[in-house]
Amino acid sequence: MNLDELPYDIMLKILNEIDIKDFGKLCQVNKKLYEISNDEFYWKQKSSIDVHKWNVLYSNKFLNSNYDSLKNFYISNCPEIQTLKVKIVEKSENFQINFNQNNNSLRLSSFFGQVSNYLIQNILGQNQEQGLRKLIMFGPGLETTTSCLVTKMLWNSEFKTLDMIPGKDGYGSGIKMKLFNNNPFNLTILYTNVKKLRLNNKHNMELNRLFALKKNEDQEVIYELQPQVKTACSDANGFVYIIDNIHLKSLIDRNDKEEIENYKYELSVLMREVKQKLPLLILSCSTNQDNKKMNGISCAQIVDALNLKDLDREWCIRDCEIFQDKLKDVALGFEWILNFINQSNSNNEIK
């Protein structure tokens, strides 16, 4: 029996075990596979499975409702395909240099330049010289086993520590840092309480010193940012929300609705209180020790768990392993938000 004689359902099972790069090659040499590659049912099935394998999601792509097919949704969101696009850009730039040296062809140079600029602007963002940016880091992941992230950033080769920033009235302290290929930025870290209380309590909103408890006109309990926190956030350019991947997974598994609501509430209050629609980077962190115990929660599941679809701003969520001093994914997340800020400011200047 050859490939064309296999039943359709068996063919789908086989294709689901093949990575997207090899699938693309096979479709070029087999008519039946080519037909499947344009079948909406196949892409619906593949998307529902692979979405939980994707280690990074972007709001402008993942929540986009203008795709004319599930195939285009998959292509736009699959990290592996986006990586291949970047490699194509790099190869085109190398070819452009070599071709120009040998042939001095301005026409082909212009073509590759336009392709490169388009892909860089839409995938990587531009890395232009800009002023010092300020990022606010907060979140429940700063209180659990993934709290080591800040310490690791201080000594990791992906980041360079330039200076320490003192706070005021116990708020707003941070670090002046430099990403490996970007401009310096200030990172202000907002902890919910002193270390002893953070480690001995659940993620309790009543003990969260970032917020002040109030009652609205209907005498319902609501939370607002403390004035000092508002001041610390007033000149921010973006936010970094830290999640302990394994901890959130355990909350969902045991259906701890109260603490899951606290996760969501802390994020929603801060986003609501800061009027500017600043970009949000969500780092879903895990440690080597965590990974040995259990599988974590996917980026797509976090989107649902934290109601990220309701946020009125651009966001990126990325899985980050923070062990053995490897912070590559963390650095890529910071690269995204800094490039996004720079690009947004450039667009505003043009307007």
Q: What does the pLDDT look like over 253-292, one tens digit per residue?
A: 999 888 888 888 889 888 988 878 999 999 999 986 545 4
Q: Say what the pTM is.
A: 0.82
342 pLDDT more than 50:
yes
Across the range 125-134, mean pLDDT stands at 59
The whole-number pLDDT of residue 285 equals 93
Contacts of 248 (CB under 8 A, 6+ apart): 140, 260, 263, 284, 297, 302, 305
User: What's the CATH number for 133-350?
Assistant: 3.40.50.300
Q: What ranges in 141-256 are assigned the alpha helix state H? A: 149-155, 195-200, 227-233, 245-253
Q: Return the domain boundaries, the chain.
A: 1-38, 82-124, 133-350
Structure tokens at 15: 């294709």
Distances from the Cα of 13 to the Cα of 18, 34, 54, 171, angstroms: 9, 16, 19, 54
- Measured between alpha carbons, how far is 110 from 318 in angstroms, rounded to an integer? 34
Closest CA to 144 of 63, 216, 43, 246: 246
Give per-residue pLDDT as tens, 12-45. Answer: 777 777 777 777 777 777 788 788 888 898 899 8
341 pLDDT more than 50:
yes
Contacts of 135 (CB under 8 A, 6+ apart): 185, 186, 187, 188, 236, 237, 238, 239, 240, 281, 334, 337
Percentage of the chain lying above the pLDDT 70 cut: 78
Count of C-beta atoms within a 10 Å radius of residue 37: 17
- Measured between alpha carbons, how far is 252 from 241 in angstroms, rounded to an integer? 19
Across the range 194-207, mean pLDDT stands at 55
Structure tokens at 78: 């699959």
The whole-number pLDDT of residue 123 equals 45
